[in-house]
Structure 1
């Protein structure tokens, strides 16, 4: 098993660590952002987990139903999670759906709309 990783730094400072595996036709993406529940104000415990749970429930480009339909139609997985010190985003898809999943991930990270009907759930 090849354990070689490549590391890249984008012009905006984001660091990418890539492990290629040409034996499968799937792509797994995992992103980690510093900060999670440890940044909740004492009077708003759970705020980071709550907001993270809404990142994939509606964006400027797609409703929650549309996001689900897109992800399910290609047999992919998309998740946003909040831990104590990290917020994570992950996806798994066929390599042919890479651009689609990256777009949905970026939408959730940069343009969540926090729809009232999803907040009430």
Structure 2
């Protein structure tokens, strides 16, 4: 199975995603913000990053941009609830960075599993 890093400043979202992803047999590493996500990916072999776009400090789009340079093969799924911009606009920006999938909060267990399974077909 895969190692998945879940980056979100909302603890409830992280716990929900952890429960969904770990129930599929994947190891989960949590990150409460972008800096923690970067640290987690740099410190261990991570197969998939699930990242919120809007987080304090280093936002998700910046995390994706940085990791595209340092870990170009890392698979990323972005998610957001939106903010000033619509979720659609924000996730389209994430797609320009080459994310494998995108989710809009609130998401269902089935939506998360569908994106994870598409991103990690061999896992």
Same-fold status (TM-score > 0.5): no
More strand by share: 1
Structure exhibiting the larger radius of gyration computed from Cα positions: 1
- Greater helix share, 1 or 2? 2
TM-score (norm 1): 0.25
Taking structure 2 as the reference length, the TM-score comes to: 0.25
**Higher relative contact order by CA 8 Å / sep ≥ 6: 1 or 2?**
1
